[in-house]
Amino acid sequence: MAGGGKLQAPRGTFDVLPEDGRRRAKLRALCEELFEPAGYGYVETPIFEATELFARGVGETTDIVQKEMFTFEDQGGRSLTLRPEGTAGVCRAYLEHGMHKQPQPVKLWYWGQFFRHEAPQAGRYRQFNQVGIEAIGSDDPSLDAESILLLFELLEKSGAKGVRLRLGSLGTPETRRAYSEELRDYLRGREGELSDEVRGRLDANPLRAFDSDHPGTQAVVKDAPKLLDRLNEEDAAHFAEVRALLDEAGREYEVDDALVRGIDYYTRTVFEFTSDALGAQSGVGGGGRYDGLIEMLGGPHTPGVGFAAGIERILLVSELEAGQDTPDVYVVRDGESTSAFVVLGALRGAGFSAQMEQAGRSLKGQLKHADRLGARAVVIVGSEGMSVRDMQSGDQRDVSDLAGALDALKQVVA
Ligand code: HAM
């Protein structure tokens, strides 16, 4: 290939370096501690799936499917897509593995990479990570509340700042269809004030008007009829129950009668967590109920609810400390000693976190490096013998063999 340009990570992607990696590991541990005891089992689904899964599940008219998918053909001519979200894949797996035969609801959680071809900016990437949960097989409002409360708790435990919750309900597809007609008629009546984009989508999806940041459109939308006022009796009762459970839990939220999510599978409850500490991309996590999704994928009617949160966005607004891994022991090589490596192995075998000199530093340089690493103790391995040094007190004593070194270290490191 021609050109000697510098190779860089592709646009919208990033490298995770060790400090960031430690923060991620902490966050992941937090997720596990929260979700597993609540009955959510860990799942992994493929990073790529049949394109049709997302076309059907996420929805043909969504931005995600229309503009943001990384789609490619494999050698067999099958159209595959790097997953833009996790719910469709998890529901596919639920069906494929006959999980409807297990006691319901089946509760699952996941963590991994997702891909959307969006314009990169702070907190918005083309490859990003999400953590999510899905509870499939029951429409009990307590599952909606549980989803919301678990995300609340995760954000709280990770020290996320400026968190707010917006909550809405979309009702059933039938309600939404009737409401869409009503809204379309209303918007048509004031078409001249709408943005070109919203006007262009009036037929396909008038609800998108609520998403617009165009001032004229916003003014029109303010007086528009609201979906929440059109919910049928059952959906209204379901929403009231979800709200009652959140009130009971003492969690604050704002009812948003125009909460639009960028995915088509939602029915009834929808929610979004934002953080004031984020810029334009303020969404830290969101989710809702998707009672029709599994049917859209060819399965029996099976309700479900869940959320996904952006790992990078949580880390941007959280106080999670990376923590520093300091070794218990640093093995210093004094002279032409080959036994240092054996000592290193024995130390690790005895349960110490141990590192050794591997860059040819002088004796003085090695001690300085051990100090820089924060080692509690140093074992100096010379051609003649060994000594153990307490890096805090500076005390140093000779030991006759490995067993002696281990004894001495136990006292220092304890
Ligand atoms: P979503 O709202 O599209 O929902 O994405 C969830 C979260 O993923 C967002 O709130 C945001 O934090 C993060 N995210 C999305 N796109 C990007 C990006 N380009 N860069 C960085 N972070 C991003 C879903 O994906 C649904 N599957 C959630 C769900 C689960 N609903 C029901 N169950």
Q: What's the mean per-residue pLDDT of the chain?
A: 95
The closest residue, in CA terms, to atom 18 on ligand 1 is 124
pLDDT at 337: 64
Which atom of ligand 1 is the closest one to the Cα of 314? 12
Cα of 132 vs centre of ligand 1, distance in Å, is 9
Instruction: Count CB-CB contacts under 10 A for residue 115.
Output: 21
pLDDT of residue 201: 86
- Tell me, in angstroms, the distance from the centre of ligand 1 to residue 408's CA: 53
Q: Which of 164, 313, 314, 316 is the best mutation target for the ligand 1 pocket, counting ligand atoms within 8 Å of the beta carbon and taking the most?
A: 313
Nearest C-alpha to atom 25 of ligand 1 is from which residue? 85
Nearest residue CA, atom 11 of ligand 1?
A: 310
Mutate to test the pocket of ligand 1, among 106, 118, 128, 143 (most ligand atoms within 8 A of CB): 128
Q: What is the pLDDT of residue 82?
A: 98
Q: How far is the CA of 130 from the centre of ligand 1 (A)?
A: 7
287 Cβ inside 6 Å of ligand 1: yes
Asked if 387 and 397 count as a contact pair (C-beta separation under 8 A), the reply is yes
Rg, Å, the chain Cα set: 28
How crowded is residue 279: how many other Cβ atoms within 10 Å of its Cβ? 12
For residue 366, give both structure tokens. 């090695």
* Ligand 1 pocket test, candidate residues 13, 116, 130, most atoms within 8 A of CB: 130
Query: Which residues of 311-414 form beta strands (DSSP E)?
Result: 329-334, 354-356, 377-382, 386-390, 396-399
DSSP 226-262: -GGGG--HHHHHHHHHHHHHHHHTT---EE-TT---S
Atom of ligand 1 nearest to the CA of 289: 32
| Amino acid 2: pLDDT | 53
pLDDT digits (tens, 9 = 90+) for 243-272: 999 999 999 999 998 887 889 999 999 999
Residue 283 CB–ligand 1 contact under 6 Å: yes
What is d(CA 384, CA 399) in angstroms, rounded to the nearest whole number? 11
Name, in order, each residue with C-beta under 8 angstroms of 250's C-beta and a sequence gap of 6 or more: none
Tokens found for residue 159: 């020290």
Can you give the pLDDT at residue 281?
77
pLDDT tens digits, residue range 128-168? 999 999 999 999 999 999 999 999 999 999 999 999 999 99
- Helical residues (DSSP H) of 36-140, grouped into ranges: 51-57, 63, 87-96
Residue numbers in the chain where pLDDT is lower than 50: none
- Tokens 């549980």 correspond to 146
> What is the predicted pLDDT for the residue at 264?
92
pTM of the model: 0.92
